[in-house]
């Protein structure tokens, strides 16, 4: 409240968890924040809960698949680890695999990220990369990773 009174725009987010008790708790927090004049928004739950996969994903079988497939993909974002290595997706970043460049490489530029690259790990995509969401212009249908030629 002090930050908001000081002129900052405060935004809080909660996750629409499928567990009824957690969901009720989060909705209660949302009501309380709204009554205090705080912006509180809900984000879609991503992942598996009680044997059910939740989330709106652009590509079938891209998350938590039993069988890995191949594809070509590219990121619409620059994903950099703490050592300066770049990755085409968050799944590669978290697994520490398939670096595509380093920010200090002499030939590194923005165009070196914008190409489709072979991937043998389709099915282990990070939900945040393939979730259908709004882009920076608030247009729905964006994903952080584009995928083609799923084999």
**Domains in the chain: boundaries:** 2-45, 69-148
CA distance 70 to 148: 10
- What pLDDT was estimated at residue 2? 86
Is pLDDT above 90 for 85? Answer: yes
Q: What integer is the mean pLDDT of 71-75?
A: 93
Q: Are strands 140-142 and 52-54 parallel, antiparallel or unpaired?
A: unpaired
Say what the pTM is: 0.75
Asked if residue 92 lies in contact with residue 25, where contact means CB atoms within 8 angstroms, the answer is no
Whether 136 has a pLDDT exceeding 80, the answer reads no
Q: Which of 90, 86, 91 is nearest to 109 (CA)?
A: 86
Residue 105 above 80 pLDDT? yes
């Amino acid at each position: 409240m002090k930050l908001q009174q000081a002129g900052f725009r405060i935004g809080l987010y909660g996750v629409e968890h499928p567990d009824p008790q957690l969901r009720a708790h989060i909705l209660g927090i949302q009501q309380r924040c709204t009554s205090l004049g705080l912006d509180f928004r809900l984000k879609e739950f991503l992942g598996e809960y009680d044997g059910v996969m939740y989330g709106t994903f652009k590509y079938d079988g891209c998350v938590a698949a039993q069988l890995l497939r191949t594809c070509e993909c590219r990121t619409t974002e620059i994903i950099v680890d703490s050592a300066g290595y770049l990755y085409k997706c968050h799944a590669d970043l978290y697994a520490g695999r398939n670096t595509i460049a380093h920010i200090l490489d002499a030939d590194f530029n923005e165009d070196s990220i914008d190409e489709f690259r072979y991937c043998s790990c389709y099915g282990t995509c990070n939900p945040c990369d393939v979730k259908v969401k709004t882009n920076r212009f608030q247009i729905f249908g964006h994903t952080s990773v584009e995928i083609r030629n799923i084999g």
